[in-house]
Amino acid sequence: MARGLIEDRLGERARILGGERAILVGLDLEGDRETLDELVALSETAGVAVKGRVIQRRRQPDPSYFIGEGKLARLREQAELAPADTIILNHALSPAQSRNLEEQLGRKVIDRPQLIMSIFAQHARTKEAKLQVEMAQLEYLLPRLRGWGRALTGLGGGIGTRGPGETQMEQERRRIKRRIQRLRKDLEKAALERQVRGRRRRRKALPLVTLIGYTNSGKSTLLNGLSGAEAHVEDKLFATLDPLIRRAPLAGNREVLLVDTVGFIKRMPPQLVPAFLSTLEAVKEADLLLNVLDISDEKVFEHLKTVNETLADVFDDGPRPLMINVLNKADRLDDAEGRERLERALHEMRDPIAVSALQGQGLDGLLERIAGEVGAVRERLRVAIPYARASLIDELHRWGEVECEEYRAEGVMIEVVLAEEFVQRLERHAAENGIKLERLPL
Ligand code: GDP
Ligand code: MG
């Protein structure tokens, strides 16, 4: 029986599979004004039918049960009445809290990180994303097994002996650790393959325009609108995990590549950050970022802050691609509050542009802006680097698109397409280090 319980946790009980009926639970810690709206959207995205919401005001979570014991009894009744087979908490639980709640409620208990990881697992499409999500789930599970093992040990031996539960648990731990090692190796391989693909794409030298922004802000819809293609649009958070790439025609017979990304979200479980960042390769390599903001959402300024903080992490204070703030869903601003929000955004943000991705307003203007930005900012240079300054070669590969690299007796000759800001830096560096630069036609 003990073995069955552990196996069950590994499989179904630690994640959402879709089809669950759930009651959602959140704590309203002081000043937080919890509504659970976002948790409802996340749950529905994962395929859960939401049967009720419970919010408790508390200064601090209960150390054993997270919610108070009185609330716990009411929650048990509510779950029986609903009926609900799953309880989803809008917070991260400690292993002991998860275990205690499951024992008390007799139902599957899923915390917020597990819910988000389940959504990622359901939507992962590339091999790399799948590996990363599985690794995140197993790493989250590992410390939790210890708690279950201890609970099970109580059934078996006395002091100083190992109960059957603990032995099973040790086996499971070893199995999971081996699996994690294996995943880590596979991930290294997958990352290499991605880099090779990236190189191949860059040789074509189409400017890369990457759509970023909060979940549900309309990135996939905008990608369709700009490219005329059928990308995957759903009214679900996280419908896009892997980046999607489309070509978009610009005036003057030019083209850009548009890349869709998974949305940003607040309170991302730390285990998931690698999976998330791998979709951000497209952000790092971008010539231009379109920051898609839902201007009809009153939280739009908070969302902008999340995006900016994430970008600061991704670029580590280094130089960033240019960014256009796109105020989407402008068609939905029919009240005074909405129009005020738009005014404020137009006033506070750098060069924003209002559009409706759904209805098409503003998209021609946006395409013109894109053409203007990615057309004007790039230059092609020939750089002659003496071997003593070879570290510059790596930098050029990092910041530009190296199109040609020739090793000669006197040094390395590189042809590279660079953004204007790097050209200026390179010019300064070159003057100080005796490196010859020559401008070439684009
Ligand atoms: P993503 O998560 O950022 O990719 O967002 P989606 O493109 O999937 O859009 C989320 C929801 O917002 C969908 O229901 C879209 O139809 C809707 N939507 C997107 N753009 C607009 C817009 O300009 N106006 C309105 N009214 N709805 C939009
Ligand atoms: Mg999308």
Q: Cβ distance 344 to 335 under 8 Å?
A: no
Predicted confidence at residue 8, as pLDDT, reads 46
Quick: pLDDT tens for 31-80. 667 778 889 988 988 899 999 999 998 889 999 999 999 999 999 999 99
Ligand closest to the CA atom of residue 218? 1
Give the C-alpha distances (Å, rounded to integers) separating 319 from 212, 246, 424.
Answer: 17, 25, 13
Q: Cβ distance 186 to 137 under 8 Å?
A: no
Residue 265 has pLDDT above 50, yes or no: yes
Which ligand 1 atom is nearest residue 216's CA? 2
For residue 166, the SS3 value is helix
Which residue would you say has higher pLDDT here, 298 or 400? 298
Mean pLDDT for the stretch of residues 265-272 = 69
Ligand closest to the CA atom of residue 217? 1
Mean pLDDT for the stretch of residues 232-254 = 61
If you average pLDDT over each of 6-20, 210-224, 399-413, which comes out highest?
210-224
Predicted confidence at residue 245, as pLDDT, reads 74
Name the pLDDT band for 344 (thresholds 50, 70, 90): very high
Distance 263 CA to ligand 2 centre (A): 7
Q: Is the CB of 360 under 6 A from ligand 1?
A: no
Q: Is the CB of 118 under 6 A from ligand 1?
A: no
Q: What are phi and psi of 219, to 5 degrees?
A: -60, -50
Predicted confidence at residue 81, as pLDDT, reads 95
Distance 260 CA to ligand 2 centre (A): 7
Q: Is the CB of 331 under 6 A from ligand 1?
A: yes
Helix and strand counts by DSSP (H, E) for the chain: 15, 14
Predicted confidence at residue 149, as pLDDT, reads 43
Q: What 3 state SS string does 336-360 have?
A: HHHHHHHHHHHHHCCCCEECCCCCC
User: By mean pLDDT, which of 295-304, 353-362, 374-383, 384-393 is the weakest?
Assistant: 374-383
Ligand closest to the CA atom of residue 264? 1
Predicted confidence at residue 240, as pLDDT, reads 53
Distance 19 CA to ligand 2 centre (A): 22
Give the C-alpha distances (Å, rounded to integers) separating 139 from 40, 85, 127, 151.
Answer: 26, 25, 18, 20
Q: Is the CB of 332 under 6 A from ligand 1?
A: yes
Which ligand 1 atom is nearest residue 240's CA? 4
Mean pLDDT of the chain: 80
Residue 92 has pLDDT above 70, yes or no: yes
User: By mean pLDDT, which of 19-23, 229-233, 391-395 is the weakest?
Assistant: 229-233
Give the C-alpha distances (Å, rounded to integers) separating 216 from 26, 261, 280, 295.
Answer: 22, 11, 17, 12
Residue 413 has pLDDT above 60, yes or no: yes
Residue 169 has pLDDT above 90, yes or no: no
CA angle 324, 327, 329 (to 5 degrees): 145
How many whole angstroms separate alpha carbon 137 and alpha carbon 115? 10
Structure tokens at 304: 């902008």
Which ligand 1 atom is nearest residue 215's CA? 2
